[in-house]
Amino acid sequence: MKLCPVEREVAVLVNSLPHNRREITEALTALGATCDRDSAKAIDCIYNKRTRSFYWVIGEPTPRATRDDTFLFNITADNDNEPFGAKVELERTTEEIK
């Protein structure tokens, strides 16, 4: 499965973190993720982010369009042994406001 650029960047970030369950879940939690500490998987975390974008046209007093995006990352790894490889799945929803 080919990852989108955002998924690839998150996977690179996760794979650069310490490769043990405790340290990686602490690092992801510090970044705002929610991690299941009782999971059978070595790593099982969710990161949810909402953004609002405004699209302006030069000279117009109000934005031409407004869009809300929700990014939900599911970050998992089956074990913390080498080679370490986290799986990152992104679910993105977009809502046009105006």
pLDDT tens profile 10-66 = 878 887 887 777 888 888 899 899 998 776 667 889 999 888 999 999 999 999 999
The more confidently predicted of residues 37 and 1 is: 37
pTM comes to: 0.70
Say if CB 95 and CB 71 are below 8 A apart: no
